[in-house]
Amino acid sequence: MKKLLIEGWRGINHSYALVNQHQLLHLAANPNFEVYHNDLPFFKAHWQNTTSGFDQEDTEIINSVMSSPSDGVDIIYRISFPFRFYGGSAKRVFVFGTSEFGLIQKDFVYSGPEAGHTYSNSEFEIVTPSNWSKYGLMQSGYSGKVHVVPLGIDPARFWFANQDEKKELRKLFELPRHAFIFLNIGAMTWNKGITPLLNAFAIHKKSYPDSYLVLKGSDFLYGNFFDQAVKEAIKLNSSGVSDALESVIYSKDNLSHEALACLYRASDAYVSPYLAEGFNLPVLEAIASGLPVITTEGGPTDDFCKDEFTLKIASEMVTSSIGRYLKPDVQSLVLQMSEAVDNDKLRKTAAAMGPAWAEKNYSWKVITDKLANLLIT
């Protein structure tokens, strides 16, 4: 049995903390490890006032993992931000990191006193969730080992809702019962593509008056980026976007995992015209919920989005001072949104195939077993 020390975040609803806590639930039950956890400081101090979204039973398991033992450990696995790219007092050291824009900026790397410490093992290996992210890490100059281990879903929480269940959920969220609802979940930052999404929705809405767009933000972590996206979209299409905003529903609430899963089930399609992502977990969660997904072609979602339930948005690769990113084509997005509404066969295929496929290939148990095999090899 190997002693594994995880250094990361617990207790908040941030993507890195969520990944860490899901993995921790399964690693703690793995007979090959004696698992310990040291909590690292949050990137922003006010994050400690948020909650993790996990239910009480899982939270108790997560919090029950004790801090590192005095006699040392065999493996260290770090997952936080800024990235703690340095060695440690263990035989093997792994650091979780992502590269959304094809480079790692200087302020993305932790430079505190621990980084300059002399450790018994000065080497570290990187774990990243997509081939897009791996490419960016290698382009940033890292010449060591980079392992791709994707993110996962909880199949007990994500599943497809029938029409009666969907109607009840829409009552719960006060959503229009008979509308076609597109969903997007994320920080609403520039790289999420909210400006082109609003522009495309305004065009789509003219031909599909029953369509609605539901946006679930993360104001509790990052602040409000939605208003800026609206302003930018109005500059591109003043009257169209202004009119379409009547059918855009924005939520900034910090939802529990169950409530978030219900929001997926209350929707008809997931749309993500992102410019840059490390993985884009909500797209995978939407697939596990039986929704067709509309997503940018050429990025990390290509790793896990199958043609049977995916409509891809044509994109152009852009290289600039901030790195590389994808520019989704608005007209292509408009066409794919129309296809999502009109193609009943696509929606039925997504409902029948998506949840089972996601459970088989991307459950947190399957993904964490991959991580465990990497850590112990």
pLDDT in tens, 63-96: 999 999 988 999 999 999 999 999 999 999 999 9
- CA distances to 9, 10, 18, 81, 357 from 29, rounded to whole Å, are 19, 17, 17, 26, 24
The reported pLDDT for the residue numbered 149 is 98
Contacts of 320 (CB under 8 A, 6+ apart): none
If one compares 240 and 98, the residue with the highest pLDDT of the two is 98
pLDDT band at 214 (very low <50, low <70, confident <90, very high): very high
- Best CA proximity match to 311, nearest among 182, 188, 133, 185: 182
Q: What is the rounded CA–CA span in Å between residue 170 and residue 352?
A: 21
- Best CA proximity match to 309, nearest among 288, 281, 279, 327: 288
pLDDT in tens, 306-361: 999 999 999 999 999 989 999 999 999 999 999 999 999 999 999 999 999 999 99
CATH class of 163-362: alpha beta
pLDDT in tens, 220-278: 888 899 999 999 999 988 888 999 999 999 999 888 999 999 999 999 999 999 999 99
The DSSP call for residue 164 is H
The answer, yes or no, to whether residue 177 has pLDDT greater than 90, is: yes
Question: Are residues 109 and 83 in contact, defined by beta-carbon separation less than 8 angstroms?
Answer: yes
| CATH, domain 2-153+364-376, list 3.40.50, 1.10.3470, 2.120.10, 3.30.300 | 3.40.50
2-153+364-376 and 163-362 share one fold: yes
Q: Where are the domains of the chain?
A: 2-153+364-376, 163-362
The reported pLDDT for the residue numbered 151 is 98
